[in-house]
Amino acid sequence: MSDSSSRQVTSGVRQLLIEADSAGQRLDNYLLKVLKGVPKTRIYRGLRKGEFRINKGRVKADYRLAEGDVLRVPPLHQPEPGAAPVIPGFWAGAIQDRIVYEDPGLLVINKPSGLAVHGGSGLNFGLIECLRQLRPQDRYLELVHRLDRDTSGLILVARKPAILRELHRQLRGDGVDKRYLALVAGRWPKERRIVEAPLQKNIVQSGERMVKVAKEGRASITGFAALEQFPEATLVEARPHTGRTHQIRVHAQFAGHPILGDDKYMDDATRALARRLGVKRLFLHARALSFTLPDQPRLQLEAPLEPELELILQNMRN
């Protein structure tokens, strides 16, 4: 008899009524949450082909759900629910020690490098799955935004639907101020403070997700400020004004100063420089977040550079 966890169940066409708790979410994020086990590529292919419809009409992946919307879900092969992934003790302990802020509606985590924010693409678990196992008393835990797997630093996790909707509202405007530290190749010009270049996602043949600057891409703006100059590199602060995938990384590359340790986007010269300086991971860290919660003063949070990144700077200073 085959293992029951490997069996597939096929759902016919379903009509899902969007409730208040899901209002304001992007359609693709909602589908990834409710269609557990369906490959991400299958969901996005269905979105491109118009198989998922809202109120009988075609919509894009970034459509924001509204209470009362009727979502058509096509027939899909979906794995039967199995046991939750076992979270290694290393990650469980690391995450517990990295909660930097907590209130009844929100958690803020200083995410370590090497941990994805959610399972998928061959990963059984990520930060959100770890949190759900660590904190079973929390009936609602949802990522407010994302960080790349190899990026460390501050990330928001909502504990209430109302907080998720409010922070998404602020993210769509300019209510959330996000600041990153990055070590880039070469001497970043002090006068270059804005990189504005449209970004387009591109899935290469291997299945790896890449992003490129393209005129048909989505408008994207990142502010940069040179903080400390070294002979071969510059420590910069990056402030994304839009929230595109890999935005800081691709804008730094486009400006001619790839981020050290960025295996996706650095060239051979930058790769050699990273080896000389001892950079063994993406040197990108979400160091500061500022935002407002209902009926509270503006909250400002910071996370210091990871020790392995700080050591690289200290060695260059010496």
Catalytic residues: 148
CA distance 39 to 286: 29
Q: Which amino acid is at 84?
A: A
Which H, E and C letters describe 38-82, residue by residue? CCHHHHHHHHHHCCCEECCEECCCCCECCCCCEEEECCEEEECCC
For 113, the 3-state DSSP assignment is coil
- Which residues, at least 6 apart from 301, have a Cβ–Cβ distance to it below 8 Å? 100, 101, 108, 154, 288, 289, 290
For 130, the 3-state DSSP assignment is helix
For 225, the 3-state DSSP assignment is strand
CA distance 117 to 95: 12
- For CA atoms 112, 116, 119, 125, give the dihedral sign: negative
Pairing type for strands 284-291 and 152-158 reads: parallel
- Which residues, at least 6 apart from 141, have a Cβ–Cβ distance to it below 8 Å? 107, 128, 131, 132, 135, 157, 158, 159
How many angstroms from the chain centroid is the CA of residue 9?
30
> How deeply is 49 buried, as exposed, middle or buried, from its count of CB atoms within 10 A (0-12, 13-18, 19+)?
exposed
